[in-house]
């Protein structure tokens, strides 16, 4: 007897939660990365795609998307300060990034809390240690001496759930939904 054909469940794509950068900050990072491409090569991330990933879910089945957005609807997460004050290079994946010498504990707590909730609901298989960073260039082989980064600081006011896929022009992103982070309540 012929075997029943099997069909993969339709996928919602590769999903991640992230903080998007304010335009002034992405402008600075993009300009610096552009200057480095001229000297050292690498593939420039588009200015409007610069982000800081809080939790990476990977491929999620389309039918699980409502449960995921419902879960995020129920979150109550605070606004957090973000400070990017150094450039870094990872030789293992050829990424140039903007990072923090001392990430704000509130930012780390936000990512930890989001990851924990997602893990408990079965949306995260494994979690890497959270290293807050904004990827500026990919496929960079020889970065040379990295210039200093004028500190970029802002308060993140919302998180985004984003779908990514590969296109001819590199990674393409589509925002699935956004949720506000709540302002601190003064005692």
Which residue's CB is nearer to ligand 2AM, number 56 or number 154? Answer: 56
| Gap between the Cα atoms of 146 and 4, Å rounded | 57
Among 22, 28, 49, 56, contact with ligand 2AM (rule: CB under 6 A):
56
Among 16, 89, 154, 179, contact with ligand 2AM (rule: CB under 6 A):
16
Window 62-101: contact mask with ligand 2AM (x via CB under 6 A): ---------------------------------x------
Sequence-ordered alpha helix ranges (H) in 51-174: 65-73, 105-120
Q: Is residue 161 a contact partner of residue 69, using CB atoms and an 8 Å limit?
A: yes
Residue 23: phi and psi, rounded to 5, are -55, -40
Place of tokens 């936000």: 110
- Shortest distance (Å) from residue 89 CB to ligand 2AM: 12
Q: Is residue 111 a contact partner of residue 132, using CB atoms and an 8 Å limit?
A: yes
Which residue's CB is nearer to ligand 2AM, number 77 or number 137? Answer: 137
Window 94-133: contact mask with ligand 2AM (x via CB under 6 A): -x--------------------------------x-----
Instruction: List contacts with ligand 2AM (CB under 6 A).
Output: 16, 53, 56, 95, 128, 135, 164
């Amino acid at each position: 007897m012929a075997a029943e054909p099997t069909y993969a469940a339709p996928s919602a794509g590769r999903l991640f939660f992230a903080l998007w950068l304010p335009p002034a900050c992405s402008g600075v990072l993009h300009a610096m990365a552009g200057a480095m491409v001229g000297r050292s090569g690498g593939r420039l991330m588009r200015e409007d795609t610069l982000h800081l990933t809080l939790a990476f879910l990977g491929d999620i089945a389309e039918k699980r998307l409502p449960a995921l957005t419902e879960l995020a609807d129920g979150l109550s997460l605070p606004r957090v300060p973000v400070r990017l004050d150094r450039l870094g290079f990872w030789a293992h994946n050829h990424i140039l990034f903007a990072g923090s010498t001392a990430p704000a504990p509130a930012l780390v707590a936000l990512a930890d809390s989001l990851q924990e909730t997602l893990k408990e609901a079965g949306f995260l298989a494994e979690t890497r240690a959270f290293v807050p960073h904004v990827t500026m260039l990919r496929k960079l082989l020889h970065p040379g001496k990295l210039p200093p980064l004028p500190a970029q600081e802002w308060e993140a006011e919302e998180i985004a759930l984003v779908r990514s896929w590969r296109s001819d022009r590199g990674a393409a992103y589509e925002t699935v939904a956004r949720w506000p982070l709540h302002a601190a309540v003064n005692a």
